[in-house]
Amino acid sequence: MRQQRLVVAKFALCLLTSAALFLGVPAADNPCAAGPPVDTNPAECCPTPMLVDGTIMMDCYKKYGEQTKKQLQMEGIPRGCCIAECAMNATNMYVDGMLKRDDLSKMFMDAVKDKPEWMSLVRDATNACFEMAEKKMDEIEAGAKLEPSFEGEKICHPISGTILRCMSMMMFAQCPASVFNVNDDCKKLREYGSICPMI
């Protein structure tokens, strides 16, 4: 459980990198820029299932975590999340700027097969997230065409981060009542999580 929380906390870095893309607002006007209104770990409010193997996520964070921290400070077109792309490559879900939608959907559903309270939510969120990505494909493709801006920067296609960020936002925002820990901090976090990526 501690390992899972660590993965969630570290992956949040990556999700923040392209919050402006998801929200459709300039980085300077990003309502998520200040971070969550309370100092509560989202996993304490809603222990969302890991859709991607935690070991894979940690390995990818070790490779690209420092780069992602630098990218967080950058303005302009949101950069692709290399942690997410690394995870999608490791699971054979990513090929040439495209995610294998059917295979990814199956992987997500397999991750919650023993959690019936999550199954319909994950299925619906997968469809909604791919539809959202389709509508924002011009912005996503623009991020894929960026040039490195510092030594050693790898440019990753934003599609993987877009989908994983969307999934985590929707899962937290729609956390099943049977799982959600109801208290003031968690309610505030859920309100924030409905528009800002955290996990």
- Rounded CA-CA distance 158/78 in Å is 8
- Kindly tell me the burial class for residue 94, based on how many C-beta atoms sit within 10 Å of its own C-beta (0-12, 13-18, 19 or more): buried
Beta strands in 63-109 (DSSP E): 94-95, 98-99
**The model's pTM:** 0.83
pLDDT of residue 25: 47
Tens-place pLDDT, residues 99-157: 999 999 999 999 999 999 999 999 999 999 999 999 999 999 999 999 999 999 999 99
